[in-house]
Structure 1
Amino acid sequence: MNRRQFALSIAAASLLRPSLFEPLPPMGVPRGVVPGRVTWAHDPAAVTWDGTGSWWTDANNNQAVIDHMVSRSICGLTNQKSDTQAWSSIFHYFNRTHGRGNVGYKAGEKIAIKANLNNTTDHGTIDRLNSSPHLILSLVRQLTGPAKVQQASITIFDSSRWIPGNLYEKVHHEFPGVVFVDHVGGDGGVKAEFKPDAIPFSITSRNAKGLDTVVIDATYLVDAAILRAHVSSGVTLCAKNLFGCTSIYTDWRKNAHDGFQHNRDGSASYSAFTDFLGHKDLGEKTVLFIIDGLYGNDNVDGPPHRKWKMVPFNDAWPNSIFMSLDGVAIDSVGFDFLTSEWPDLPDIANADNYLRESALAHDPPSKTFYDPERDGVRCRSLGVHEHWNNGADKKYSRNLGKAHGIELFLVG
């Protein structure tokens, strides 16, 4: 769908789905080559699952279409015409803004891809929604091709779960040198090792404080989340996906979740998600944020089960991929999509607390001193947050011609 077709579909829409969250002016400092930009690739031909069989099979996922969506997203983030130029721009921007000089990627630097495999139970393949193997393959193709990263320098991991067979086989078949790390190792993968007390958090908590050495040893991190809701926290997007880098148990019931819940009355509170985004080896090491919206879900469990009503999806899977260099901006966009489509999500009231805290991490509403390493250095603003004007137009401040805020950028 091009921009003209998108505009026509909006104009023709007869059903305007209400949003629980009113438009909100931007707060925080936008990040990115194009500050505050979140790319949105939408192609109805990407996934065509009709509910029979498994959503993740090749028959239901068009690899060529997904590859094109990823390519156009990478270029769209940087206003570059080629993938190679786009990756160079991304690396130069990241290094320049993280005190590493105005340099690009250097051979041998490690890149870790944090997939969301929260619904795995072993190395077998199940139909509950996890990261799309096809999207992860597209990303590895980009890194080893235009970005010029050696296979052995790339690690796909989820420290708290298992690498499922469908993901491992999809990538390993084409890229046998890529490393896989999960909680238990085996079946072609490596067992995660943790550095204790690597994330002590800004306030005293019971949360797991070890970090996978994969993220500590990596020069860059790619945070590949999924577009879906979650009980207690309301949503689970890029910020919460970083929880899976810590030394937690595979059984979620054994893990503390201090600072995950927000105050339902609208008042500000400390958020552990802000600590994840602000930590030097997590959010501050992330060179690219991705939200896999090929299917999306209104809960964290099970396979995809509810097609999307909002335009331009019109009772189909969202068939979307979102990318940004701003971790707060991309979660703000994912948040608006989820809450506009499903305004009655469990525990959603005030669930954007972590976005306000992160955007204003240098002076947050809760007055927390965000310092996840406990080194005495306060976090800076971690990105820009706002809510769009409505779920039909889907416009943020920069879409409306303003100089500050989020831009939702539709790529062809």
Structure 2
Amino acid sequence: MKKIIALLLTAVLMVSCAPPASGVSKENKITLSAKKMTLRAGIPKTLKIKNKPKGARVSWKSSNKKVAAVKGDAVTGIKQGRATITCKVKYSKFGKKITKKLTAKVTVKKTKSVYPRHSAYGKGIGAKPGRVVWSHDPKSVSWNGKGYWWQPKHFNEKTILKMVQESIAALGGEKQAKSGWSKLFLAQNKRNGTGKIGYKKGQKIAIKANINGSGVFDDDDSGKTKMSYTNPVLLKCLLTSLIKDAGVSPSDITVYDVSRLFPKYMIELCSKGKLKGVKFVGRNNGVADKDKPINWSYKFKGAVNYLPTCVTKADYVINLANLKGHSYGITLCGKNHFGSFINGNEMRPPEGANLHQFLTMDEMGIYSPIVDLMANHQLGEKTVLYMLDAFICAPTEGDEITGSNSKWKQYPFNEHYASSVFVSQDPVAIDSVGADFLMNEPVVINHNDSLKNNATVENYLHEASLVKNAPSGNIYKNGNGKTVKNLGTHEHWTDPVNRKYSRNLGKKEGIELIKIMR
């Protein structure tokens, strides 16, 4: 009897002391964070596994990939419909192999575009007409949301330089940045009627940066603000490619924004070593060319505006804008030139020019000064490249950038920074793509009432793409007496997942979006 009792006690002890299999018990049931999900096309949601056993192998599958796709634990709605996401969790318990099958029902709602659908307007411009290249690499940004977003240590310079070089190559239809730049300069000179020639040594290039967040209210040039301005590392990489790949001498390059002050650290970063000689022109040292006033194609009261000499003496312009929202809706390459002129209002030239009245009307079919700037013979007509800085994007120009208001939800960003750069030779096409991204991003529209559900922010894109017969009835000129007949092509993507435009679908006109994804 004692032997039996001893054996029973031993068995009880063995059972009670046995470790739970990989941390699994009845109390810790393996489940998904949701059994049902409702999605909007293009905006992923995460399915988490609760109480996942240590060392477990996990696989995911969608019953209908045309409706909902799953990658890792991120589920993305593709189009309206229903699908089931299945998760298999494989683990071992007491040496026994176990497979736990978990499911979640997914409903994808129909997504209605804020922008009205229409065929492509206007004619594409560039070495590859209507082409916009989008490069995305999450490794380019490593900011943890603390401190200042702009600190160079938050960005991978090697990765960003590669993104710039690959984008330039693809924009010209080439494999290398050197031949890509060559194609861009050839296309620009052909468009302007200067012949089949490329860049010549000694020709001047003016780069319009967007330094809107620096020196806004005073003469502080430390750059120590949480507001947005041109990414310093992207600027350095653009300059590096111009010098190394395009063969431009640093002394022939001027970076400017005559409405703001360039941060000292940015000037130092972008004008040392192989970049030594690059010049910076801001509000503090911009010189107005009094022989080159901006001539608007619409009569309105405001100060006389002059372009800076760094622009009027330049042979080429590069428009380096930000992809971000604005208190008037959006600000992209077109509006970037609000920082390209000088008048009596030193701190706020656009206000001195009385331009903002045309951005607050919330109407379509009205005159836009942005189109005049896009068409200007000293600005748009000289522009060899348009670029959108989309590494860390602000909801509006006045917002302080934080880790939460700059992490984008839409695919493929998935709660990370946009970590992207866009390039084009077509000013209308690149802003059309930018407008699609901004209107589709919940983080932006939820912080920006001026943009949310407001299709009138694209008024200038309609005016520009239909410039020959503008909806407003206005006759746009290039500021030098010549009537403008074409500024580029405008349309909207097919959907927020596939993001295809007319040329992607085999049509002869419209936008072509080339994706370089990492």
TM-score of the superposition, structure 1-length normalised?
Answer: 0.92
Q: Is the 8 Å Cα contact of residues 9 and 312 (structure 1) preserved in structure 2?
A: no
Q: Which residue of 2 aligns with 1:283?
A: 380
Q: Which residue of 2 aligns with 1:240?
A: 335
Report the Cα distance in structure 1 between the residues aligned to 2:385 and 2:118, rounded to whole angstroms: 25
Q: What is the aligned counterpart of 1:354 among 450, 456, 460?
A: 460
Q: Which residue of 2 aligns with 1:398?
A: 503
Q: Is the 8 Å Cα contact of residues 114 and 158 (structure 1) preserved in structure 2?
A: yes
Q: Which residue of 1 aligns with 2:250?
A: 151
Moved more, 339-348 or 297-306: 339-348
Is residue 322 of structure 1 aligned with residue 422 of structure 2? yes
Q: Which residue of 2 aligns with 1:226?
A: 322
3-state SS in 1 of match to 2:323: strand
Report the Cα distance in structure 2 between the residues aligned to 1:370 and 1:75, rounded to whole angstroms: 33
Q: Which residue of 2 aligns with 1:3?
A: none
Q: Is the 8 Å Cα contact of residues 259 and 272 (structure 1) preserved in structure 2?
A: no
Q: Is the 8 Å Cα contact of residues 182 and 192 (structure 1) preserved in structure 2?
A: no
Q: Is the 8 Å Cα contact of residues 294 and 479 (structure 2) preserved in structure 1?
A: yes
Moved more, 64-73 or 156-165: 156-165
Would you tell me which structure has more strand in proportion to its own residues?
2
3-state SS in 2 of match to 1:21: coil
Report the Cα distance in structure 2 between the residues aligned to 1:70 and 1:11, rounded to whole angstroms: 30
Q: Which residue of 2 aligns with 1:210?
A: 306
Moved more, 149-158 or 390-399: 390-399
Q: Is the 8 Å Cα contact of residues 334 and 371 (structure 2) preserved in structure 1?
A: yes
Q: Is the 8 Å Cα contact of residues 123 and 165 (structure 1) preserved in structure 2?
A: yes
Q: What amino acid does structure 1 have at the position aligned with 2:358?
A: F
Q: Is the 8 Å Cα contact of residues 114 and 242 (structure 1) preserved in structure 2?
A: yes
Is residue 302 of structure 1 aligned with residue 402 of structure 2? no
Is residue 90 of structure 1 aligned with residue 173 of structure 2? no
If asked which structure has higher relative contact order (CA below 8 Å, sep 6+), I would say 1
Report the Cα distance in structure 2 between the residues aligned to 1:31 and 1:8, rounded to whole angstroms: 34
Is residue 51 of structure 1 aligned with residue 110 of structure 2? no
Cα distance, 1:207 vs structure 2: 5.2
Q: 1:134 to 1:9 in 2, by over 3 A?
A: farther
Moved more, 388-397 or 288-297: 388-397
Aligned length: 398
CA distances 1:67-99 after superposition (whole Å, capped 9, x unpaired): 010011000101111111111111111101111
CA distances 1:360-412 after superposition (whole Å, capped 9, x unpaired): 1111111101014152x211210000011122221111122222110111125
Q: Which residue of 2 aligns with 1:36?
A: 130
3-state SS in 1 of match to 2:476: coil
Cα distance, 1:347 vs structure 2: 2.8
Structure 1 stretches of 4+ with a deviation exceeding 6 A read: 7-10
Report the Cα distance in structure 2 between the residues aligned to 1:316 and 1:250, rounded to whole angstroms: 37
Report the Cα distance in structure 2 between the residues aligned to 1:10 and 1:23, rounded to whole angstroms: 24
Report the Cα distance in structure 1 between the residues aligned to 2:115 and 2:189, rounded to whole angstroms: 35
Q: What amino acid does structure 2 have at the position aligned with 1:23?
A: R
Q: Is the 8 Å Cα contact of residues 47 and 61 (structure 1) preserved in structure 2?
A: yes
Q: 1:196 to 1:240 in 2, by over 3 A?
A: farther
Matches within 5 A, 1:13-412: 13-15=75-77, 19-121=113-215, 122-126=220-224, 127-174=226-273, 175-185=275-285, 191-195=286-290, 198-205=293-300, 206=302, 208-232=304-328, 234-248=329-343, 249-252=345-348, 254=352, 256-257=354-355, 260-261=358-359, 263-265=361-363, 267-305=364-402, 306=405, 307-341=407-441, 342-343=444-445, 345-348=448-451, 349=454, 350-373=456-479, 375=481, 377-412=482-517
Larger radius of gyration: 2
3-state SS in 2 of match to 1:296: coil
Q: 1:9 to 1:411 in 2, by over 3 A?
A: farther
Percent of residue pairs identical: 35
Report the Cα distance in structure 2 between the residues aligned to 1:258 and 1:120, rounded to whole angstroms: 20
Q: Is the 8 Å Cα contact of residues 195 and 213 (structure 1) preserved in structure 2?
A: no
CA distances 1:173-201 after superposition (whole Å, capped 9, x unpaired): 2322111111113xxxxx43333552120
Cα distance, 1:264 vs structure 2: 2.4
Specify every segment of 5 or more residues in structure 2 that has no aligned partner in the other structure, as ranges. Answer: 1-64, 79-110
3-state SS in 2 of match to 1:223: strand
CA distances 1:88-137 after superposition (whole Å, capped 9, x unpaired): 11111110111110000011100000000011113212232110010010
Cα distance, 1:223 vs structure 2: 0.3
TM-score of the superposition, structure 2-length normalised?
Answer: 0.73
3-state SS in 2 of match to 1:215: helix
Report the Cα distance in structure 1 between the residues aligned to 2:137 and 2:228, rounded to whole angstroms: 20
Specify every segment of 5 or more residues in structure 1 that has no aligned partner in the other structure, as ranges. Answer: 1-6, 186-190
Q: 1:304 to 1:9 in 2, by over 3 A?
A: farther
Report the Cα distance in structure 1 between the residues aligned to 2:68 and 2:179, rounded to whole angstroms: 33
3-state SS in 2 of match to 1:67: helix
Q: Is the 8 Å Cα contact of residues 196 and 211 (structure 1) preserved in structure 2?
A: no
Q: 1:389 to 1:403 in 2, by over 3 A?
A: same
Q: What amino acid does structure 2 have at the position aligned with 1:193?
A: A
Q: What amino acid does structure 1 have at the position aligned with 2:472?
A: S
Report the Cα distance in structure 2 between the residues aligned to 1:99 and 1:40, rounded to whole angstroms: 29
3-state SS in 1 of match to 2:267: helix
Q: 1:276 to 1:15 in 2, by over 3 A?
A: same
3-state SS in 2 of match to 1:357: helix
Q: Is the 8 Å Cα contact of residues 230 and 346 (structure 1) preserved in structure 2?
A: no
CA distances 1:125-178 after superposition (whole Å, capped 9, x unpaired): 223211001001011101111100111100011111111123111102232211
Q: Is the 8 Å Cα contact of residues 374 and 487 (structure 2) preserved in structure 1?
A: yes
3-state SS in 2 of match to 1:14: strand
Q: Is the 8 Å Cα contact of residues 184 and 192 (structure 1) preserved in structure 2?
A: no
Cα distance, 1:50 vs structure 2: 1.3
Q: What amino acid does structure 1 have at the position aligned with 2:211?
A: L
Q: What amino acid does structure 2 have at the position aligned with 1:323?
A: V
Q: Is the 8 Å Cα contact of residues 221 and 261 (structure 2) preserved in structure 1?
A: yes
